[in-house]
Structure 1
Amino acid sequence: MPVDAVWNITVQWLAGDFACRLLMFLKLQAMYSCAFVTVVISLDRQYAILDPLAINKARKRNRVMLTVAWGMSVALSVPQIFLFHNVTIIHPEDFTQCTTRGSFITHWHETAYNMFTFSCLFLLPLIIMITCYTRIFCEISKRLNKDNLPSNEVHLRRSKKTS
C-alpha cells in the first residue's frame, strides 16, 4: 500500500523494474489469497454442517486446503513477474510507468489473460461458495423439516440413562 500511495502521488513509476514486477506479483497474490482462503472457509463450514462427526479429519483437511489455496495464489500470480515491466517514454518528456505494454503479442492475448484472471479470481470462488452455502441451506432446511412434526403427534425425547 505505501508503494501504491507514492505511485499515485508521483503519477509515474520511480521504484525501478524489479520493484514494479514484485509489487504487481504481490498485489495479485494478495487478491488471490483472499479469494481462495474465503473459499476454504466456505468448504470448511460445508463439511462441518454436512459431516459434523468428522472432526478428526477436519484439521488435516483444512491444513491441506489452506496449503493448496496459498500455493495456487502464488502460482497464478507468477505471470505478473513476466508481464509487468518499466516502460519509459522520452518524447515529449521523460515519463516512466510500470505496465504490461508490449508483453502480449496481440490484443486478444491480453484479453484472454484478463478473462482467465477474472475467472480464477472471481467466478470460480463465487461458484464454489454458492454451491457450499446452497448445500448448507438445503441440509439445515431438511433437518428443520424433520423436527417440525404435526401438533397432534407427540415426540418424546429421552436419554438412555435409567435411574
Structure 2
Amino acid sequence: MEHLNKLFLEYIFPSDYEWLLIAMYLIVFIVGVVGNFLVCFAVWRNKQMRTVTNIFIFNLSTADLMVIILVLPATVTVDVTETWFAGLIMCKCLMFLQNISVSVSVLTLTAISVERFYAICHPLRFRSTKKRARMVIGAIWLFSILVSSHEAIIFQTIPTSNHTVLLTSCRPPNEYFDQSICYHAVSCYYMSL
C-alpha cells in the first residue's frame, strides 16, 4: 500500500519543470482572460465599433475565452498529473466544449480571411453586411456543435494498463482514436481551406 501511495503522490505533485509549465499557463490564462474580455467589452459597449470585422473578432474573442476558461485548467491538470480526475461526465462535456471552442476559433479566422479577401479583391461586387456576418457566425457555431458532437459520444475515461484505477485518461477508446483525430482534422481544418 505504501508503494501505491508513493506512486500516486509522484503523479499528483508537480516537479520543478511542471511548476514552470504551471506558471506559463497561468500567465497565458490571465493575459487571455483580460485581453479577450476587454475586446468583447469594447465591441459590446461601443456601437461605432460594431463593424463586420469587429463582429467576427468579438466571436473569436468569445471562442478564445471558452478555450481559456474551459480548456486551459483541464489541460494543465492533465499535463501535470498525467491523469484525469474529473470523471466520465466532465470528460465528455469538457472535450465536447473544447472542440466546439477550437472549431469556432478556426472557422471564425477562416471567415475573417474570406471576408477580407472579398473586400480587397472584389470591392465593387462584394458588400459585407452585419446581417450576413451574424448568419455566418450562427452557421459557424452550428457546424462546430455538429462536428464536435461525436466527442460527447466516444470519449471515455480509460484506466491505465496496470488494472489499478489510480490513473485514467480522457480520450477516445483505442479503436476510435485514429478515426477521431482524422474526423476532427478533416471536418474543421481541411474543410475550412
Q: TM-score interval w.r.t. the shorter chain? A: 0.5 to 0.7
| Residue identity in the other structure for 1:99 | R
Q: Distance in 1 between matches of 2:119 and 2:83?
A: 49
Structure 1 residues 52 and 70: CA distance shift in structure 2, 3 A: farther
RMSD: 2.3
Alpha-carbon contact 2:91-2:155 (below 8 Å) kept: yes
Structure number with the higher helix fraction is 2
- Structure 2 residue 96 is matched with structure 1 residue 29: no
Greater RCO, CA 8 A, separation 6+: 1
Q: Which has the larger radius of gyration?
A: 1
**Aligned residue identity for 2:182:** M
- Aligned partner of 1:98 in structure 2 is 170
Question: Which residue of 1 is the match for residue 137 of structure 2?
Answer: 66
In structure 2, which of residues 108, 112, 115 is the aligned counterpart of residue 41 of structure 1? 112
Cα distance, 1:6 vs. partner? 1.2
The answer for the alignment partner of 1:122 in structure 2 is 189
Identity of aligned residues (%): 21
SS at match of 2:129: helix
Summarize the Cα distance change of 1:75–1:113 in structure 2 as closer, same or farther, 3 Å threshold.
Answer: same
CA distance in 1, matches of 2:78, 2:180: 24
CA distance in 2, matches of 1:51, 1:31: 31
Report if the CA contact (8 A) 1:83-1:103 is conserved: no
Q: Alignment partner for residue 77 of structure 1, among 132, 140, 148?
A: 148
Q: Which moved more, 1:68-77 or 1:95-104?
A: 95-104
Can you give the 5+ residue segments of structure 1 that lack an aligned partner in the other structure? 105-109, 128-163
Normalising by structure 2, we get a TM-score of 0.54
Residue 172 of structure 2 contacts residue 180 of structure 2 at CA under 8 Å; is this kept in 1?
A: no
Runs of 4+ in 1 over 6 A off after TM superposition: none
Contact 2:159 2:169 in 1 (8 A): yes
Which consecutive residues of structure 2, in runs of 5 or more, have no partner in the other structure?
1-71
Q: Distance in 2 between matches of 1:119 and 1:12?
A: 28
Q: Deviations over 1:6-57 (max 9, x none)?
A: 12222111111111111111221122111110111122213323144754x5
How many aligned residue pairs are there?
A: 120
TM-score calculated relative to the size of structure 1? 0.63
**Could you say which residue in structure 2 is the equivalent of 1:11?**
82
